[in-house]
Amino acid sequence: MQRRSGEVKALAVVIAVVLVAAQACSGGSSPAPAATETAETRAAQPDSLPQAEVERVLQELARRQGVEVAWQGGPYKYSYEWGGGTAADPTGDELARNAAPIARELLQYPDGFLRQAGLNGVVLVRDLFVSEDGGARGVAAYIFEDRLFLDVPSAERAVRAGTRVKFIHHIIWHRLDERAGTMWQDPEWVALNPPGFEYGVYSRGGVHETRSNSGKLTAEYPGFLNLYSTGNLPDDKAEVFSYLMVIHASMRERSRQDPYLARKIALIKQRFAAVAPTFDGDFWARIDADSDDPSRY
């Protein structure tokens, strides 16, 4: 499906900043350099799978989600009137360490969900860069021509930090939001914010927020999960959804103390249920039982 150039550009801007939320401690939007290895980082390093097992995991993901899953075929280069992007193939070692954590997040969804969301492929890459509005930056995830590009080293940094690969869910909500036509114009959501709130006031420009720890969980801003969420409307929604997918139990508890957040969670779940009847109470009970430790975020 081809989008009009203006629609593509709007989606490009919001998806390109996923990396800031995904890598809250990086202090910028370019992929962070690999940390110096210590005993602690070695302990947090993902387990490596044999090549045959890597292929089995990714082929199972492709089968269950009804999409192509590719990890070879680069280098990739896309060019449009609004900008474009590039990426390279991940190394075999990167795939061996990160295929399972990536597949885990995508298989949280019912079989066939990615196809239902209008995606026809998942592409695992490294050195994922995009350009628009005269600038270029590294990103953790992007959508080119209905294929979901995921930067494998970004996933590995999340796993080494002791967290799950949350940015996968962030970009998936952007996809759903875009298809619903509510990405940038959403009066129903805006009405849930505290009185007088304006996006970008705290975050110095919203989508270009690069300050260290802007994606770290905080209770400083009622109705918002972090500084990054206060920057713009699409990322506020995507952060609520992505955290629901990885620390649902903590989000449930936190919402009891934050009525603004509670209403946002209820609306996210209402909209998600409208996508498919399988996103019901049983789905969220399963997600809740698989909740991660919120202190890691």
Whether residue 192 is found in the same domain as residue 232:
yes
pLDDT of residue 203: 72
In a domain, 108, yes or no: yes
Asked whether residue 202 is assigned to any structural domain, the reply reads yes
Residue 146 shares a structural domain with residue 234: no
Indicate whether 47 and 194 sit together in one domain: no
Return the structure tokens found at 214: 């802007």
Answer with the one of 96, 126, 161 that is the final residue of a domain.
161
Average pLDDT, the chain: 86
Of 104, 135, 161, the last residue of a domain is: 161
- How many distinct structural domains can be found in the chain? 2
Same-domain check for residues 154 and 221: no
CA distance 253 to 12: 33
Domain co-membership, 41 together with 154: yes
Convert the pLDDT of each residue in 219-278 to its tens digit: 999 999 999 999 999 999 999 999 999 999 999 999 999 999 999 999 999 999 999 999
Q: Rg of the Cα trace of the chain? A: 18
The residue range of the domain holding 70 is: 5-161
pLDDT confidence of residue 209: 65
Q: Is residue 51 part of a domain?
A: yes
What is the predicted pLDDT for the residue at 134? Answer: 62
